[in-house]
Amino acid sequence: MRIFLGVTGASGALYGARSLAALTAAGHHVGLCVSDAGARVISHEILGEGPRPASYADVVARFADMFGNPEGAVDVLDADDIACSFASGSSGARAALVAPCSTSTLGRIAHGTGDNLIHRVAEVMLKERGRLVVMPRETPVSLIQLRNMVAITEAGGVVLPAAPGFYAMPQSIDDLVDFVVGKALDVLGIEHALFARWGQPHVATAEDAR
């Protein structure tokens, strides 16, 4: 399946990283779009190089190389490229995940006032009645942010907060992140083995070994 993955400037770039790894490992073709702020957070949280990278393109290319596997499974899309295929309902793509989703992008999507490719793809998913999952990471949340979540839900999107469960006895940060990513893939109808399902044994996959 062709799936769009937007990575925005909320903390939790690892959610985007693990989403990219899981989707590509499962054989899906991912259109990856990182916002300008998303690249800053990746630079800070994943690359350990602080939130003011010299080059947006370099950060995004390294992120795609680190987590997109195999080669060729990822199309890196510029956040300004609203002329790319995913920007049109006629592209046929019907699944998009924004992980993590900043409250700023949340507001843009909720109000249909986008100005980058991530906002546009989310708008397309809602109008075409495709699957849109947004994964906000913020706490506490204001009434404005709560209303934006309601608006996206009313429009048919799924708001899936980056709120890991602990009942699967996580042993690592990756386990915590994979719990949330796995819930997002469940909503998108994508098979995975990112966490042990309650009452069922965990099925090991190649992704576990990475």
**Cα-Cα end-to-end distance for the chain:** 22
Q: Which position among 8, 19, 24, 148 is part of the footprint of ligand FMN (CB under 6 A)?
A: 8
Establish if 138 lies at the interface with ligand FMN (CB under 6 A).
yes
Taking Cα atoms as reference points, which of 107, 109, 83 lies closest to residue 96? Answer: 109
Residue count of the chain: 210
Cα separations in angstroms, 195 against 124, 144, 175 = 30, 33, 7
Establish if 80 lies at the interface with ligand FMN (CB under 6 A).
no
Candidate ranges 6-14, 21-29, 147-155, 183-191; the one touching ligand FMN (CB under 6 A): 6-14
Return the number of the residue (25 or 100) whose C-beta is nearest ligand FMN. 100
Q: How far is the CB of 114 from ligand FMN (least distance, A)?
A: 10
Residue 125 is encoded by which pair of tokens? 């998913």
Mark 86-115 with x for binding to ligand FMN (rule: CB under 6 A) and - for no binding.
----------------xxxx----------
Q: Strand, helix or coil at 128?
A: coil
Nearest-angstrom CA–CA distance, 98 and 31: 12
Residues in contact with 148: Cβ distance below 8 Å, sequence separation at least 6, in sequence order: 103, 106, 107, 109, 110, 111
Establish if 53 lies at the interface with ligand FMN (CB under 6 A).
no
Establish if 43 lies at the interface with ligand FMN (CB under 6 A).
no
Task: Give contact residues for ligand FMN (rule: CB under 6 A).
Answer: 8-11, 35, 37-38, 40-41, 44, 51, 102-105, 137-138
